[in-house]
């Protein structure tokens, strides 16, 4: 049976016990992202260390974690048998003005980081589906997630790491079954990023989870996790037997 290796979102927070419930019966490794790494490739190096020695594993990347998982997958690491990307992208999806605004976060400190930068980020993460979700979340919940898990210097490093990130011409190197798990409403990443992944990864399937937003790992953990385990049990494990 494949080991599920979960790669966290931009906050760096690992899967919590509630989010791991749908993976019951599977071997799972979760992690917290390291602080302050300034490139996606450096984060992929960290991830490579976490999976070294595993004979059969599936990378499950959430948002920024999907970017890191993709960066490792194009290297074709030994033991990788499947890939799940949710809310990810192969190149910086932000328009130029948003990239400049995000980059300006390096000049904002203390209360301004918590009260301005994180409020703007939380607004971009939020979906109108979140309040009535199985695990309801508000914009303030997302801001608190970053306050609790993401030091300002780390936030800046992660923003900087995707500014010039572009793996679009390497997507053909992904040689394992891949699931794109897409929310219905994602105003942070957008549809173009998904189209690029669908057009570039050879063996790829997309599932759109209805009535979900970018943070569906948090708001819809059962729907999210069950789609992943079904893909692994039917699309990865069966293929490898």
Q: What is the pLDDT of residues 55-66, one digit of tens each?
A: 999 999 999 999
Contact 70, 62 (CB under 8 A): no
Per-residue pLDDT of 90-143, as tens digits, reads 998 865 544 554 555 566 666 778 888 889 889 999 999 999 999 999 999 999
pTM of this prediction?
A: 0.93
Per-residue pLDDT of 159-216, as tens digits, reads 889 988 999 999 999 999 999 999 999 988 888 999 999 999 999 999 999 999 999 9
Q: Specify the CATH number of the domain 3-94+157-240.
A: 3.40.50.1820
CA distances from 130 to 84, 189, 239 (A): 22, 17, 35
Nearest to 18 by CA among 135, 157, 183, 184: 135
């Amino acid at each position: 049976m494949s080991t599920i290796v979960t790669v966290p979102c931009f906050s760096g927070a690992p899967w919590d016990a509630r989010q791991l419930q749908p993976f019951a019966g599977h071997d799972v490794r979760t992690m917290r992202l390291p602080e302050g790494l300034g490139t996606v490739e450096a984060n992929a190096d960290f991830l490579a260390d976490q999976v070294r020695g595993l004979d059969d594993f599936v990378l499950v990347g959430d948002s920024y974690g999907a970017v890191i998982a993709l960066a490792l997958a194009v290297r074709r690491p030994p033991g990788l048998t499947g890939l799940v990307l949710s809310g990810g992208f192969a190149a910086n999806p932000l328009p130029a003005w948003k990239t400049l605004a995000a980059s300006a976060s390096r000049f904002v400190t203390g209360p301004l980081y918590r009260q301005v930068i994180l409020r703007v980020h939380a607004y971009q993460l939020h979906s109108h589906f979140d309040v009535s979700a199985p695990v309801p979340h508000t914009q303030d919940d997302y801001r608190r997630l970053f306050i609790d898990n993401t030091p300002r210097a780390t936030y800046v490093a992660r923003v900087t790491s995707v500014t010039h990130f572009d793996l679009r011409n390497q997507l053909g190197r992904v040689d394992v079954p891949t699931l794109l798990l897409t929310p219905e409403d994602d105003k942070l990443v957008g549809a173009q990023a998904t189209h690029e992944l669908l057009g570039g990864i050879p063996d790829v399937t997309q599932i759109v989870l209805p009535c979900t937003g970018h943070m569906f790992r948090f708001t819809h953990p059962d729907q999210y996790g069950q789609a992943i385990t079904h893909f692994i049990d039917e699309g990865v494990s069966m293929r490898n037997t």
